[in-house]
Structure 1
Amino acid sequence: MTTDALTAGIFDGLTVEDIALLDFSRLVGLVNEPNMPSGGGATIRRIIDLCRLRSGCTILEVGSNTGYTSIEFASWVDGRVIGLDINPVSVAFAEEKAARFGIDNVEFHVGDGLALPYERGRFDLVYCSNVTSFIVDHQGARDEYYRVLAPNGVLVAVPIYYHTVPPDGLRRAVGEAIGVDLIVTTQAYWTELFADPSAALLHRETYEYVRQSPRRIAEYVESVFSQPHLGNIDPVLREAAKARLTYFYELFDENLAYTRYDILIFRRNHPNPESVLHTSRQVIGE
């Protein structure tokens, strides 16, 4: 089934009142919003540069949504990429996009991060953006990531966490938007969660977000709804979906002012895990 048919079918079954109650993940799957990771494609290219993936490598993305990150990996890496997501509509969008751009070294599966449908030690790199925040059992998901990671594989996580404690009302609103009871996590929480006795933390980079203006958010919403598969939707439903997406973006933009995110790279069985005594930093401008 094409994405046009999928989208038309879903919108035909909804009312304006239904759209006003959609959570962010359902709406993203419905409109095929790119749903890129923190930092966008630059984050994925940075990971590729840091990990120096070998030819023929295998990569798993947990929480691939509409395919942005898995397709970005596949477009740069000489290997096989699998994107896994719990939403079959998002998986269908991802498959269609990869086919449209001729990316033939990526495939997408429907599945749950708490029960990955893969054998032990299959993947050279397991990547998760902020998807673990959406999974009720963080530890259980983390254990699954390591279960399918190869003996010398790399686990890469890009979690979002609170650098400053947000207002409780804002935190609860974001939790309702993403469909989970959002807890206030810290950098230390995620570093400790993803740590494992068999793996060394080789690299961490920390980033903060840049606030976006209402005008920029409105322009981005328009770009999402300019996609061809959204052209024939009932105008009333279309405006309701635009309003709902705008609400989410403005809410998330406010919330991100209290957050940061890391690129965390753990390598299993790294032969040189020892810490460095005399650390250094790059000299700039001399």
Structure 2
Amino acid sequence: MPESTVISDALEGLRVGDVPDLDFSTLVGLVNEPNMPSGGGRTIRRVIDMARLRPGVRVLEVGSNTGYTSIEFASWIDGEVVGVDVNPVSTAFATEKAARHGLDNVRFDVADGTDLPYRDGTFDLVYCSNVTSFMTDHRGARDEYYRVLAPRGVLAAVPIYYASPPPDDLRRRVGAAIGVDLPVTDQDYWRDLFSDDGSTLIDQETYAYVRQSPESIAAYVRSVLDQPHLARLDARVLDAVGRRLAYFYELFDENLGYARYDILMYRRGHPNPERVLHQSRAVR
């Protein structure tokens, strides 16, 4: 089925009464919200620098959604990028965006991150943002990431975690918004999760979030709604979508006040895995 048909069918079936029940991932797929990783394109460019990607590399993004990250990778590297996501509407948007920008070194597949349709050792870099949090079996997903990772390849993970415990009610509301019973995880949880007997943590950077004003959230919602493909929506549906997006963004902004994220880089089969005795830090 052509991608434009997939998108048209999904939008034409949307009704006002459906919108309040949509979780964030579903709504993002319908409206083509960029759904960028924590830190946006700067995070992807940092991963490229940290991974020392060589010409001809093969990159896999697990949880590509509407394509922002995979397209960012493809626009910077000399290599092949594959984005994989369970949502066919999001994947259709991603495919159309890549074609619109003339990027022929990226493609998007519909598949589950816990059951990847690729041979062992296919990719030089496997990247996952916070998608693993949405999966029921975190360790099973981790094992799949490593299965498709090439010898001396790099697993780059950018998980979100709580630096301080959030209120229970907030955590429950965020869980309902993303359609997952959100666990309270910390930095050590994700460091340990992505560790593997055959891999070495070669780099780690920690970032805090900057809280957003109501005005900046409202402006962002308007920018999402002001896309040509949404002009076909009934005004009442579009208004409901805007209110739902604003609810999500305000909720997530409050939640991220308790959170941080890391860039974690693990190298498989690294020849120098020894612990460093005298640690150092950059001086600014």
Note whether the superposition's TM-score is higher than 0.5.
yes
CA displacement at 1:225 relative to structure 2: 0.9
Which residue matches 1:103? 103
SS in 1 for 2:261: strand
Relative to structure 1, the CA distance from residue 31 to residue 2 in structure 2 (aligned partners, 3 Å threshold; closer, same or farther) is: farther
Structure 2 stretches of 5 or more lacking a match?
none
Asked if the contact 2:124–2:149 (Cα under 8 Å) also holds between the matched residues in 1, the reply is: yes
What is the rounded CA distance, in whole Å, between the counterparts of 2:281 and 2:175 in structure 1? 39
CA displacement at 1:5 relative to structure 2: 4.7
Which residue matches 2:172? 172
Asked if the contact 1:7–1:230 (Cα under 8 Å) also holds between the matched residues in 2, the reply is: no
What is the rounded CA distance, in whole Å, between the counterparts of 2:164 and 2:36 in structure 1? 24
Which residue matches 1:48? 48
Which residue matches 2:269? 269
Asked if the contact 2:74–2:80 (Cα under 8 Å) also holds between the matched residues in 1, the reply is: yes
What is the rounded CA distance, in whole Å, between the counterparts of 1:2 and 1:249 in structure 2? 31
Structure 1 stretches of 5 or more lacking a match?
none
Which residue matches 1:246? 246
SS in 2 for 1:20: helix
What is the rounded CA distance, in whole Å, between the counterparts of 1:202 and 1:7 in structure 2? 41
Asked if the contact 1:161–1:259 (Cα under 8 Å) also holds between the matched residues in 2, the reply is: yes
Give the AA of the match of 1:95.
T
Aligned length: 284
CA displacement at 1:191 relative to structure 2: 0.4
CA displacement at 1:171 relative to structure 2: 0.3
Matches for 1:6-17 after TM superposition, within 5 Å: 6-17=6-17
Deviations 1:21-74 (Å, cap 9, x if unpaired)?
Answer: 000000000000000000000000000011110110000000000000000000
CA displacement at 1:282 relative to structure 2: 2.7
Give the AA of the match of 1:18.
D
CA displacement at 1:151 relative to structure 2: 1.1
CA displacement at 1:276 relative to structure 2: 1.9
Asked if the contact 1:62–1:126 (Cα under 8 Å) also holds between the matched residues in 2, the reply is: yes
Give the AA of the match of 2:71.
I
What is the rounded CA distance, in whole Å, between the counterparts of 1:281 and 1:272 in structure 2? 20
What is the rounded CA distance, in whole Å, between the counterparts of 1:103 and 1:90 in structure 2? 17
Which residue matches 1:113? 113
Asked if the contact 1:7–1:31 (Cα under 8 Å) also holds between the matched residues in 2, the reply is: no
SS in 2 for 1:156: strand
Output the aligned Cα RMSD: 1.2
SS in 1 for 2:98: helix
Asked if the contact 2:10–2:89 (Cα under 8 Å) also holds between the matched residues in 1, the reply is: no
Q: In the alignment, is residue 39 of structure 1 matched against residue 39 of structure 2?
A: yes
Which residue matches 1:158? 158
What is the rounded CA distance, in whole Å, between the counterparts of 1:235 and 1:114 in structure 2? 39
Which residue matches 2:145? 145
Question: Which deviates more from structure 2 when the two are superposed, residues 67-76 or residues 9-18?
Answer: 9-18
Give the AA of the match of 2:64.
S
SS in 2 for 1:90: helix
CA displacement at 1:87 relative to structure 2: 0.2
Give the AA of the match of 1:150.
A
Which residue matches 1:65? 65
What is the rounded CA distance, in whole Å, between the counterparts of 2:257 and 2:171 in structure 1? 12
What is the rounded CA distance, in whole Å, between the counterparts of 2:237 and 2:8 in structure 1? 11
Which residue matches 2:18? 18
TM-score, length-scaled by structure 2? 0.97
CA displacement at 1:16 relative to structure 2: 1.2
Percent of residue pairs bearing the same amino acid type: 67
Give the AA of the match of 1:123.
F
Asked if the contact 1:206–1:260 (Cα under 8 Å) also holds between the matched residues in 2, the reply is: yes
CA displacement at 1:167 relative to structure 2: 0.5
Relative to structure 1, the CA distance from residue 4 to residue 220 in structure 2 (aligned partners, 3 Å threshold; closer, same or farther) is: farther
Asked if the contact 1:4–1:230 (Cα under 8 Å) also holds between the matched residues in 2, the reply is: no
SS in 2 for 1:272: coil
Which residue matches 2:206? 206
SS in 2 for 1:281: coil
What is the rounded CA distance, in whole Å, between the counterparts of 2:144 and 2:281 in structure 1? 35
Give the AA of the match of 1:191.
R
What is the rounded CA distance, in whole Å, between the counterparts of 2:48 and 2:238 in structure 1? 38
CA displacement at 1:4 relative to structure 2: 5.8
